[in-house]
A and B are shown apart, each in its own frame.
Chain A
Amino acid sequence: MTDKRPTYDEFFKAYAEIQERVERFALYLTHRRDSAAELVSESVLACALRFHDVRDSKALLSFIFTMMLRLHHASRRRSQRQVPHEPEAFDMMIGEQMSPDTQADIRILNDAMNLLPDAWRETLILAYIFDLPLSDVARIRKTSVGAVKMVLARAKQRLNKMLVEETANEQ
């Protein structure tokens, strides 16, 4: 008798190439290591079961991001209390070889982004940090490309304003 169970080799081969980006996105979303690990685990498990729905392995990143956002939003809806951010979670992404100036820049933007509405922040991360095409961002966010462009424009405007104010305060 032949074993008809799926081996998932193809899935893991494709996932290995994007694993780092998936985990980074989870950290951006959750700001916590344990929550990010859970989110990654759940999303990957769910996606592995539906891998046959993915048109090609290149679309896997977008597929997993969609699942992660869905699970993250569902989790956040249920959570009655605000889970505090864990600064160490963000530090996990900063390498030792990174210059202090770059680290400072990263933290400035991260702090500013955290003050934005979640939908704006998620759109910015997908479009400008993970460089996904706007059509993919729109599909992941379940909105239109026009709406994504509008959110990006407003988010940039708000970020610029915050960064200018911060610079003025420092001076």
Chain B
Amino acid sequence: MNNELKNLFDAHKELRVQTPLVPLDHLQRKIVEASTQTNWRPIMLAFLGIITTAVVGIVGLSLLSHKDPAVVVVPHSVGSSSAGAQSLSAPSTTIESIPDLPATTSNNRRGDRLHETTEPSKTKEFDIPSSMSGLATLELSREEEVALGIQRSASMLRVPVSTLVQINTPERKLALASMGVDTTRSTITMNGFSNIGLGSLHTLDAGGTFSERPTTPTTLVVTMSYMYTFTDTGWAQRGTTMGWYDELTSFIEDSALRKEFFANLDDNQGIPREEIRIMGGVLGLQGVIVPLHTTIGDTTEGLNNSFTDVFLWYVPNTFLKERLSKSSRERIDHEQRVISQIRSSSVSQAKACETLEQPSVLGICGISENSLSTLAISPQPVSDEATIRFESSVDGAADIALYDMNGVLQNIQIPRATITRGMNAVQINLRSLPSGVYVIRVEGAAGSLSTRLLKR
């Protein structure tokens, strides 16, 4: 460094702050105040993180290592959790083929294994009314999901979300400051990613970016609800709804609005309510999925969280059962044995229910008055003609449809069957059907059922 420049820097070294900017006692007081209060936020996040990691570990391994249909998230109306799986009704038969996005596997900062689609563009503008009060809903196509940055795989949804964070407590201020956030403002918007699917919790990834509160309220909070159902042929998307509302807290505190939201979810998708909810009893009877009652909620507001009752549905395969508690595992094993006995007609459903602890995990005995049950095909494999047997609780008509393993409806002429209360048997001719595995579905006024069929 030349001398002139060196002299100038030396002159700067003589500078001193003449009066302290922040007196030491002021700092001491703030820190002591902060340290005497419990910092709930990291505790809550850690707690929720542990739970999420545990569930991700349990279910993720089974889902990622299997091609089985994975998980269904069914928002359940708040306050009606006691209704449980028994009150749910059967899914519809519509199956949509969903093309896969290019996927990558990575780990998030917590070490969870994520199977994600490639990073999409995150800018997408929607025409949201500025005068909107309450909520509006938005149906998204797959392309729009990509534009919004929603990443989806068979086991995970990663949704960019933003939420308001009030910097109203010293501990929160400290926590945010330690994350490099400017806490000189009273409110900031926290942008991050919400991971839904593998875990039972809807968490906001704390590693997001932060920005000042936007001036337009419509961009503040995004809530999203995905409904999936799946059949033996795979899983199918039922619908997507995004709710936009201007304040997370007002939404949470107003239970009427919350109920309205979940009620509107169904209607705004144009799908009848019963198509979205899945009847645990029927599906359980087939041994397809296990409903796990859990909650989702937002964790960014510390103790002022809102959690929504949700049923997560999992394939009760060996991987899942091995990771459940011993008592849960034994119950599911027992109920699956009972299902086999019911299917083989060695025991009646009514008799089997007397031996089961209620409510049953698979909802065997939770079938409502109006339902179909006990779908069986004989012979298996089918050569030319097959007999379909099922039990109905009501009289009426039933449509029988046949799908291949890709979910494509087969062009087989099957007349509409008239069914009566009790056990029904319907003969169908499958001579023109090529050899292979198919899914047969019976849908009547009382509900619907499906099972596999092997054509010789």
Are the C-beta atoms of B35 and A45 separated by less than 8 Å?
no
Q: How far is the CB of A164 from chain B (nearest CB, A)?
A: 9
CB contacts (< 8 Å) of B20 on chain A: these are 19-20, 23
Task: Choose one: A16, A36, A78, A105; the contact of B24 (CB below 8 Å).
Answer: A16
Q: Which of B73-81, B174-182, B256-264, B319-327 contacts A (4 or more CB under 8 A)?
A: B174-182
Are the C-beta atoms of A41 and B27 separated by less than 8 Å?
yes
CB contacts (< 8 Å) of A94 on chain B: these are 15, 18
- Confirm or deny: A74 has a beta carbon within 8 angstroms of a beta carbon on chain B: yes
- Confirm or deny: A137 has a beta carbon within 8 angstroms of a beta carbon on chain B: no
Q: Which of B24, B178, B183 has the most CB of A within 10 A?
A: B178
CB contacts (< 8 Å) of A108 on chain B: these are 8
Are the C-beta atoms of B16 and A46 separated by less than 8 Å?
no
Are the C-beta atoms of B8 and A95 separated by less than 8 Å?
no
Interface string of B1-43 (1 = CB under 8 A from A): 1101101110111111111111010011011101110000000
Are the C-beta atoms of A40 and B22 separated by less than 8 Å?
yes
Are the C-beta atoms of A71 and B21 separated by less than 8 Å?
no
CB contacts (< 8 Å) of B253 on chain A: these are none
CB contacts (< 8 Å) of B13 on chain A: these are 129, 131
CB contacts (< 8 Å) of B14 on chain A: these are 95, 98, 102, 106
CB contacts (< 8 Å) of A98 on chain B: these are 14
- Confirm or deny: A159 has a beta carbon within 8 angstroms of a beta carbon on chain B: yes
Are the C-beta atoms of B17 and A92 separated by less than 8 Å?
yes
Given contacts A36-B21, A37-B22, contact A45 B34 (CB under 8 A): yes
Given contacts A41-B27, A48-B31, A71-B182, contact A163 B16 (CB under 8 A): no
Are the C-beta atoms of B27 and A109 separated by less than 8 Å?
no
Are the C-beta atoms of B178 and A46 separated by less than 8 Å?
yes
Q: How far is the CB of B3 from chain A (nearest CB, A)?
A: 11
In angstroms, Cα B3 to Cα A163, docked, is 13
Are the C-beta atoms of A8 and B24 separated by less than 8 Å?
no
Are the C-beta atoms of A106 and B22 separated by less than 8 Å?
no
Are the C-beta atoms of B30 and A45 separated by less than 8 Å?
yes
CB contacts (< 8 Å) of A160 on chain B: these are 2, 5
Contact surface of B with A, Cβ cutoff 8 Å: 1-2, 4-5, 7-9, 11-22, 24, 27-28, 30-32, 34-36, 173-174, 177-178, 180-184, 210-212
Contact surface of A with B, Cβ cutoff 8 Å: 5-6, 8, 12, 15-16, 19-20, 23-24, 26-27, 33, 36-38, 40-46, 48-50, 70-71, 74-75, 78, 80, 92-95, 98, 102, 105-106, 108-110, 128-129, 131, 156, 159-160, 163
Given contacts A37-B21, A128-B9, 14 further A-B contacts (CB under 8 A): A5-B35, A8-B32, A20-B17, A23-B17, A42-B184, A44-B22, A44-B27, A45-B30, A71-B177, A74-B182, A92-B17, A128-B1, A128-B12, A163-B4
